[in-house]
Amino acid sequence: MVAHGIRPAYGHLVNIGGRSLATAAPATLDPVVYIAICLVSGAWAGFIGRAKGSSWFIWFVIGAVVPILGVVAALLYRFESEELRKQCPTCGKVVPLYDALCTRCGTELDFPEVAIEPEAAARAQR
């Protein structure tokens, strides 16, 4: 018989009123398995993000911190190579249209009247 207020260990048989009842073990995830899931998810998100033209490391971190949702976010993220571009008037570097500063020289960029075609469209014409 189990005394009032005392819980038996999980996974053991308990005799209550002449009946044997099994207690269920709580659903837990081994920390090593969780870390492995995070690393694999981070790698998937990183490779998907890199294939779309983004940073592998940033997508790895997103995929590892939020395991399954990070991979889904990487799949839904836009392709960087399909973005319109513009040219810096100071150094001539071609940057995405949405950049406000040139990443090479730091010049503040205005919205151009004419944009440069995306990299993907330029590759398709060759």
Residue 16 has pLDDT above 70, yes or no: no
CA pair distance 42, 4, nearest whole angstrom:
47
> What pLDDT, in 10s, does the model give residues 60-77?
999 999 999 999 999 998
Closest CA to 105 of 87, 93, 122: 93
Residues 70 and 86 in one domain: no
| pLDDT value of position 36 | 94
Q: If we measure between CA atoms, which residue out of 79, 76, 77, 100 comes closest to residue 88?
A: 100
The domain tally of the chain equals 2
Q: In terms of residue numbers, what domain contains 42?
A: 31-80
Secondary element (H or E) of residue 125? helix 119-125
pTM score of the predicted model: 0.55
Does a structural domain hold residue 5?
Answer: no
Does residue 3 belong to any structural domain of this protein?
no
In a domain? residue 17: no
Say how far apart CA 51 and CA 72 lie, in whole Å: 14
Is the predicted pLDDT of residue 79 greater than 90, yes or no? no
Q: Is residue 20 part of a domain?
A: no
* Same domain, residue pair 112 and 85: yes
Residue 74 lies in a domain: yes
Whether residue 62 sits in one domain with residue 47: yes
Q: Are 76 and 89 contained in the same domain?
A: no
> How sure is the predictor about 92, in pLDDT bands with cuts at 50, 70 and 90?
confident
